[in-house]
Amino acid sequence: MKPPTTLSVHVSRFLSHYLSGQRDLSPNTIKAYRDVFVLLLRFCRDEKGHVIERLELQHIDAKLIGDFLDYLKNERHCSTRTINQRLAVVHAFFRYVQVEDPEWLLQCQRILGIRLRRYVRKEVGYLSKDYLAALLKQPDTKRDNGRRDAVLLSLLYDTGARVQEIINLTAGDIRLETPAQVRILGKGRKVRVVPLMENTVCLLRQYIDENGLALPQQYDLPLFSNRQGNPLTRAGVNYILQKYVKKAQESLPAFKQKVTPHTLRHYVASRTM
């Protein structure tokens, strides 16, 4: 039986053990890393003519990575930001390899010497106080889903959390006693504690009580669920947000700005300056 290639061994250990065990990255982040390797392996096979079963670490040199980045730009029409994200994953892998197998140190450092491409960051749209107020008052709090959505929007605004962080929240992550706060598990499994404003606390208290989430045995349940009782998804949160953005824009014809969860994060950052 033919032994595994050096590339297959290192990629498998990097994705299966290092990222989850030592870096403690989330499953979604690991999946994003894996997807970059899918693109790279397909490039090696389809564009470079390599047989994947015979692909060794020595074949993945700085020239091949440079060609891969050009392929992403010219053939797949990726943005500079996306290309840099792909390169960052490649860099992370070769930082891992140079420590695990110093035999490849020179090759790793040549690849690590490939710089990220420059690009002009687009400014995130600023949401005015009036538009934000119009958005937050749209959910119909006489309805179950409306009360859930009011809490969801209020937490997005109050905490500046990412969508994934919000949908990962459980009932046990919320503290309503003074000082009220929410425990958020962020990127890299880092936990941060964010204080809550009084209006958000009032909404949360009513929501948690009426959904039976105040008991200790319910602390592991997701804070936000859909009609089927399943945790909300990123797409679900975006759908909810856009539904209320549309209603807010109908009530304020001058409100034509595109709003995303990141827009709310930007508003939180700006108010703390």
pLDDT tens digits, one per residue of 190-245 = 889 999 999 999 999 999 999 999 888 999 999 999 888 888 999 999 999 999 99
Q: Which residues does 70 contact at the CB level (< 8 Å), separation at least 6?
A: none
Confidence class of residue 29 from pLDDT cuts 50, 70 and 90?
confident
Where in the chain does DSSP place strands (E)? 174-175, 181-185, 191-195
Residue 126 has a pLDDT of 65
Query: Is the full-model pTM beyond 0.85?
Result: no
Q: How far apart are CA 62 and CA 225, in angstroms?
A: 47
Whether 253 has a pLDDT exceeding 50, the answer reads: yes
| Under 8 Å between Cβ of 203 and 188 | no
For the ranges 62-71, 214-223, 262-271, the lowest mean pLDDT is seen at 262-271
Whether 271 has a pLDDT exceeding 70, the answer reads: no
Q: Looking at the chain, how many residues does it have? A: 273
Residue 260 has a pLDDT of 84
Class of CATH domain 129-271 = mainly alpha
Mean pLDDT over the full length of the chain: 90
The residue that leads in pLDDT, 174 or 265, is 174
Confidence class of residue 57 from pLDDT cuts 50, 70 and 90?
very high
Q: What is the mean pLDDT of residues 30-54?
A: 96
pLDDT tens digits, one per residue of 105-143 = 999 999 999 999 887 666 555 678 889 899 999 999 999
Q: Which residues does 10 contact at the CB level (< 8 Å), separation at least 6?
A: 57, 93, 96, 97, 100, 101
Q: What is the mean pLDDT of residues 15-20?
A: 92
The residue that leads in pLDDT, 267 or 253, is 253
Query: What are the residue ranges spanned by the domains of the chain?
Result: 6-112, 129-271
Whether 183 has a pLDDT exceeding 90, the answer reads: yes
The residue that leads in pLDDT, 266 or 148, is 148
Q: How far apart are CA 224 and CA 239, in angstroms?
A: 14
Q: How far apart are CA 215 and CA 213, in angstroms?
A: 6
Confidence class of residue 181 from pLDDT cuts 50, 70 and 90?
very high
